[in-house]
Amino acid sequence: MKYKSLIFSIILMSVTLLASWTVPALVQKMTDDSHSYPLMYYSARLKELCVIDFREHKNSFYDIHGNEYPRAQYDSLLPLLNYRQLAMEGQLPDSLEGQAIDVKILRSKQVMFRFRPVDIFSPQPAMGVLLEAMPKRGNLTLPGDYFRMDRELTFVDAQSNSVNRQKSEAFTKELIKKGFSFPVKAYWGNPTVRKPYEEGYFCLDSKGALFHLKMVNGRPFVKDTGIGSQLDIKWFVMSETSDKRFYGYLFGEKGEMGLLESTDEGGYRFLPFDIRPVDITKDEISILGNLLYWTVRISDAEGMDCYGLDAVTLQSLSSYHQDRKRVLWDELSEWLFPFRLSPSSETSFFVNLYVGNLSSKGLAVSFFLALLTFFLCRNKVSLYRRILMALCVCAAGLSGIVALLFLPWNKYE
């Protein structure tokens, strides 16, 4: 049969690639440990960022300067984190820093936000749903139609599966009237009825202007936010919070991150966070905010940066950096595998052939293994195959050795 050697080469390479996924994945499962960072929170009492890790230190927590505090003082030193517990015990203070507090106020000012790169690199909804922003009965309900937005805004009625021409024209005309330039680049909303109120969608037009679109009493409400002229917008995350202070989190092309706030005059304002530039393709962001201070945590493959911010100005009051903890898997993978292939990624929802964990130490070990393979197989296979096998082991290390075990050892050459 023709192409014997070519067929063998293709099988060898395919099995090596497959082993470069499965073998490191198995070794990682056996040796990996948690890379999670401790809970960080800016204390309104200590005026400093606190590091809370009761798994490592059962009876105490620390501030970022290493000062230790007993666990018994956890609630009282972090009153805005543990206000429910303090209120239950009747120990919630009446005021903090001159501001009257009670459970209702604290709950309305509480902010919790989490962003992962996967939120961007995942299939986005093909259609949107515009809820009534001023519902007659108070609670939000699905309107019965969904919209698609490309070169115009088209509403499709779900029951009849047909386009609602009248509504589509009314909304498209209003958008064009307010200066919206089709086709739309992106639109972001929060398509759920499980939220306190509806703020519709923010739409980025073809010229980079950000428009606010919502439905009020069945009619379109469209407004140019004016933010597009101040910021090159990359991404937006809608967040309808209880105190209606802001619409959501804006990310710029140059690593800016900030709030899209509503002004007293009914306008829009971009309020940047005083933090390091953010790369939303790699950084995971979490925010824990309260009436007085916000704690912002940004982590990537290298480590975690944490900031304590003033809740009003978002200016940094304190910051802290912690390197990513190295575990047994990190040490082993460096030596055993020159690279690793995986169909999934921590930063993307899409299945792809992701190459990672590139290591020069692994390549050095692989080279030694390749030499060993070349000489040990000298009586078993032809020189061509030996070279090919050695190359695969050199490229894939331990994965290459495992791949060789799965190959047919032909004796008919």
Name the site residues for another protein (rule: CB under 8 A).
1-4, 7-8, 10-11, 14-15, 17-18, 21-22, 122-123, 125-127, 129, 142-146, 148, 156, 158-159, 161, 191-192, 343-344, 349-353, 405-406, 408, 410-412
How far apart are the C-alpha atoms of 236 and 238, rounded to whole Å?
6
Residue 148 near residue 220 (C-beta atoms within 8 A): no
Residue 164 near residue 153 (C-beta atoms within 8 A): no
Nearer to another protein, 9 or 85 (CB): 9
Cβ at position 20, least distance to another protein in Å: 11
Cβ at position 104, least distance to another protein in Å: 31
Tokens found for residue 181: 């330039």
How far apart are the C-alpha atoms of 357 and 2, rounded to whole Å?
38
Per-position b or e across 114-126, b if 16+ CB within 10 A of its CB: ebbbeebbeeeee
Cβ at position 77, least distance to another protein in Å: 41
How far apart are the C-alpha atoms of 167 and 219, rounded to whole Å?
8
**What's the full length of the chain, in residues?**
413
Nearer to another protein, 46 or 156 (CB): 156
Cβ at position 24, least distance to another protein in Å: 13
Nearer to another protein, 88 or 351 (CB): 351
Cβ at position 412, least distance to another protein in Å: 4
How far apart are the C-alpha atoms of 310 and 293, rounded to whole Å?
5
DSSP states of 153-213 as a string? Answer: EEEEETTTTEE-HHHHHHHHHHHHHTT--SSPSEEEE---S-SSS---EEEE-TTS-EEEE
Nearest to 403 by CA among 394, 36, 188, 330: 394
How far apart are the C-alpha atoms of 368 and 366, rounded to whole Å?
5
Three-class DSSP category at 128: strand
Cβ at position 146, least distance to another protein in Å: 6
Nearer to another protein, 126 or 383 (CB): 126
Nearer to another protein, 216 or 351 (CB): 351
In this structure, what DSSP letter does residue 144 have? S
Nearer to another protein, 11 or 186 (CB): 11
Three-class DSSP category at 236: strand
Cβ at position 197, least distance to another protein in Å: 19
Nearer to another protein, 9 or 31 (CB): 9
Give the Cβ contact number of residue 242 at 10 Å.
14
Tokens found for residue 8: 């063998």
How far apart are the C-alpha atoms of 128 and 186, rounded to whole Å?
11
Nearer to another protein, 22 or 181 (CB): 22
Cβ at position 411, least distance to another protein in Å: 7
Positive or negative: CA dihedral 207, 209, 214, 216: negative
Nearer to another protein, 147 or 273 (CB): 147
How far apart are the C-alpha atoms of 220 and 213, rounded to whole Å?
7
Cβ at position 10, least distance to another protein in Å: 5
